[in-house]
A and B are shown apart, each in its own frame.
Chain A
Amino acid sequence: MGAKLYGTTGKILRVDLSKERIWEEALDEATLRKYFGGTCLGAKYIYDEVDPKSQWSDPENRFFVGSGPLGGTRVAGSGSVSFVTKGALTNGFASTQANGFFGAFLKFSGFDAIIFQGAATNWKYLYIHDGIAELRDARHLKGQDTWETEESIKKELEYSERSMSVLSIGPAGENLVKFACIVGDKGHVAAHNGIGAVMGSKKLKALAVARGKGKVEVKDAEQLAIVAKQILESAKKMVVFDWGTSRVISAAEGAGWLPIKNYNTNVFPEHSLFVGDRVRSVFEVKPAPCWACPSHHCHLMKVTEGPYTGYSGEEPEYEQWAAWGPQIYQKDPGAAVMLANEVDRLGVDCNESSWVVGWVMECYEKGILTKDDLDGLEMTWGNAEATLALMKNIAFRRGYGNILAEGVKHAAEQLGGEAVNWAIYTGKRNTPRGHDHRGRWVEFLDTIVADIGTYETNPGFIPDFTIYGLPKTYDIFSHEEVSTVVGKTKGSLPFLDSLVTCMFITRFELPLLCQAVKAATGWDVDLQEGFNVGRRALNIMRVFNIQAGLTPDKERPSARYGSIPVDGPIKGKDIMSGWENMLDNYYKLMGWDRKTGLPLPETLSQLGLEHLIKDVDRVKGGN
């Protein structure tokens, strides 16, 4: 065999849903050290086994669900899990993570990852317990929302709340809504690029893994405990540790990156009603921590004011407050709690949904879409009840919901005319996350050039830029400086997503994270190696995506996305005036060919991806 493995288990669970066959695949240490786990390992498998020119819904699409070397250890937030597949929205790579417990419990059962292929004839769910996996009948779960599915499975298998982790799709995934997501552990979401639809196309309703009695065996437990503590100390300095993400809403509005009324304005004084320190004192909250996490981020929440008093669910993240408050111009935080949870239950991504709803509301205001067009719904700005009804129509593909379920780019182009200019989307078909990117240029660029259907680097969470060879501060509205920041920080987030750990705890001092990997695995990993794993993942995805048709000509925002703000703190900021220069600079820093979009041979060689050079040559040769 090989040397004993620490941290990683070296075992992949393979599931062929067409043949209902389950088997185990062993991974050697060299492969594990090169790809770690999670996102990078998933990228390798998808590239090696999926035809980039195929459809996401083809049964031969692989669906990778992975933890990594730090999964299930003492590091806070090491219960996260990474999903990698060919996504439904862009038809290119999808890589998206959910926090909670799944990754930890998967490791306890002795697996680094699960890879699904094929499609089941009838609805199934996968059940793993203490190293044993079985496919179980899920026909009776069809139609249940994501929270109901979690409860049903725990009940029928007789597990208590936290002795099992369940991730499932809701009606949206079942109905192949292009931006369907996966939800589990009461409110944790793997959201982007329609991975819920991929599960739906395989008739895979849910993944359930029992906690069992297993433990992760690490190389140096004492050292890992020390480093885990240091990582926590670094996280405690950041505002998310005490407040989660909902405290930033006011900062967002003040700085011009809160998305308001479909980018029609940048003024929303009601932000003070939604901001975390207010809602946490007014609404009832109860802590709901993830695996090994002592932060005060995740909570359950009960509404105590307004028409939705009594509504109970998970405390919305910033993204959900933004989506169901300012983006749809809705001013009651209680209604936002309701929408956030109902949409999670339906299993639809809140970001994509809010851009769809915002666009519909604008079309309704301008008379382009009428009540009849919208199956009787009066989609006035801020109408929460109508929004809920519309989201249900989308999840069940009823009426106009069937068109909207294809994403806002498709719906806008289908409607045609002026309405196309009001929709917010990228040329690759996905939409941004819950921000007005015209006030956040780093993410504007990142979202559009990204290969995973969402942003890839998120420099906003980096407290110290110098480790990337960047100056401490930068002009956030300089085309050159912004594109340099994006280019140079690329690789840091997929590094985390290959371990797999929660960004809110482990993003801040990456050298500590490298020490954690060393203590867990015995591998002497330094920062450069960590970045390389991240960049390796991104380069694999880039070569694949170019072949899938996601070429540089698509790297543009929609008209509204790239528009110039008319009011507020970012009035007049014009990103498009320097767009081409930004792309030029970015490509140079990534070591990619500006015309073809493909990585240069030396870039691939530097990352140990020489075997991809022949594919790159083939594509350049016109195949």
Chain B
Amino acid sequence: MRIDEEQCIACELCVPYCPMGAIRMDNVAVIDQDECVDCGVCLRTGVCPVDCIIFEPAPWPRSLRAVFSDPTTEHKETGIAGRGTEEMKTNEVTGRFKRGWVGMGLEFGRPGTGTRFRDVDKASQALAKLGVQFEPKNPVTFLMEDVKTGKIKEEVLDEKVLSAIIECIFPIEKLEDILTAVKEVSKEVDTVFSVECINRAEPDGSFPLEKVLADLGIPHYINGKQNVGLGRPLAGGGN
């Protein structure tokens, strides 16, 4: 995002809206291009009295910033807006999360911090070492050179986005090692991330995931989604 410095009247109304705090006052308001993630919030608020906030579509790799950060844009590859696939949160359509498997999402950059892909790369490589399967339709997966190593393409490592999510799936036996590795990665990154674990319930309603987390002493919050069941699941019953 850019501020037209010949139009800006230095009224400072836009400054508090930037989620990255990237607008500072010089003679007039100036957006720090490196910290800006092209989310477009400053423009969308309509708060500028002289309409001098501009979005200029940038070439690759900067174009990545808007795609990840601006919820009104779509990823070309997946046709999905935003940071992750939706099916991760429900299981009816794809039946990805079978019993005995855990789905994991690592959501980088929220709240209010943003993330560089350099940090995402540390986590994706650590996870790949432990043999996870990355979600094919996830935008971050598309940025990997090789899903077997989890290494993210060199040219995007410096790009900053509002947030990005790594999605993967693995057998529940690997959960303890993976959580340990994730904890180690958290010490090496310059941002925050949240960890989401998805598990299919047993027929008696229990979650195997819970026992592992309790044994490891990891506090967790259970979020559920009520599915109304209006569609016909692609996945069959049972597993």
Contact = CB atoms under 8 A, between A and B. Distances in A.
A74 B10 contact: yes
Given A211-B6, A213-B6, A215-B27, A162 B11 contact: no
B11 A294 contact: yes
Contacts of B12: 292, 294
A288 B49 contact: yes
A213 B27 CA distance: 12
B58 interface: no
B13 interface: yes
A289 B48 CA distance: 10
A289 B13 contact: yes
A388 B23 CA distance: 46
Contacts of A162: 7, 9, 49-50
Interface string B24-68: 010100000000000000000001011000000000000000000
Contacts of B13: 287, 289, 294
A598 to B, nearest CB: 44
B9 A287 contact: no
Given A215-B27, A225-B25, A289 B6 contact: no
Interface string A155-189: 00000111100000000000000000000000000
B6 A163 contact: yes
Given A287-B49, A288-B49, A289-B49, A163 B25 contact: no
B10 A291 contact: yes
A64 interface: no
A290 B10 CA distance: 9
The listed residue with most A CB atoms (<10 A of its CB), out of B9, B10, B11, is B10
Interface string A212-224: 0101000000000
Contacts, number: 39
A293 B50 CA distance: 13
B12 to A, nearest CB: 4
B28 to A, nearest CB: 8
A215 B27 CA distance: 8
Nearest to B50: A162
Contacts of B11: 289-294
A70 B234 CA distance: 70
User: How large, as a class, is the contact surface on chain A?
Assistant: 10 to 19
B7 A163 contact: yes
Contacts of B27: 74, 215
A101 interface: yes
Contacts of A161: 50
Nearest to A292: B10
Contacts of B6: 163, 211, 213
A215 B10 CA distance: 13
Contacts of B10: 74, 291-292
Nearest to A161: B50
A161 B9 CA distance: 11
Contacts of B50: 160-162
A99 to B, nearest CB: 12
Give the interface centre of A101, A213, A291, A292 by most chain B CB atoms within 10 Å. A292
Contact of A160 (B7, B47, B49): B7
Contacts of B49: 162, 286-289
Nearest to B16: A294
A291 B11 CA distance: 6
A288 B11 CA distance: 9
Given A74-B27, A162-B50, A289-B49, A101 B9 contact: yes
A66 to B, nearest CB: 21
Interface string A59-102: 00000000000000010000000000000000000000000010
A288 B49 CA distance: 6
A573 to B, nearest CB: 42
A291 B9 CA distance: 5
Interface string A395-434: 0000000000000000000000000000000000000000
Contacts of A290: 9, 11
A292 B7 contact: no
A310 to B, nearest CB: 22
Nearest to A229: B25
Interface centre among B7, B25, B27 (most CB of A within 10 A): B27
A404 B165 CA distance: 74
Contacts of A293: 11
Interface string B211-237: 000000000000000000000000000
Given A161-B50, A162-B50, A289 B9 contact: yes
B51 to A, nearest CB: 9
B24 to A, nearest CB: 10
B9 A74 contact: no
Contacts of B47: 287
A287 B13 CA distance: 9
A557 B215 CA distance: 89
Nearest to B12: A294
A211 B6 CA distance: 8
A225 B30 CA distance: 14
Interface string A295-312: 000000000000000000
Contacts of A163: 6-7
B184 to A, nearest CB: 42
Contacts of A211: 6
A291 B8 CA distance: 9
Contacts of B9: 101, 162, 289-292
A230 to B, nearest CB: 14
13 contacts: A74-B27, A101-B9, A160-B7, A160-B50, A286-B49, A287-B47, A287-B49, A288-B49, A289-B9, A289-B13, A291-B11, A292-B9, A293-B11
Given A162-B49, A289-B9, 4 more contacts: A74-B27, A286-B49, A289-B11, A292-B12
Interface of A: 74, 101, 160-163, 211, 213, 215, 225, 286-294
Among all A-B residue pairs, the 10 with the closest Cβ atoms = A289-B11, A292-B10, A294-B12, A162-B50, A291-B9, A294-B11, A287-B49, A293-B11, A162-B9, A289-B49
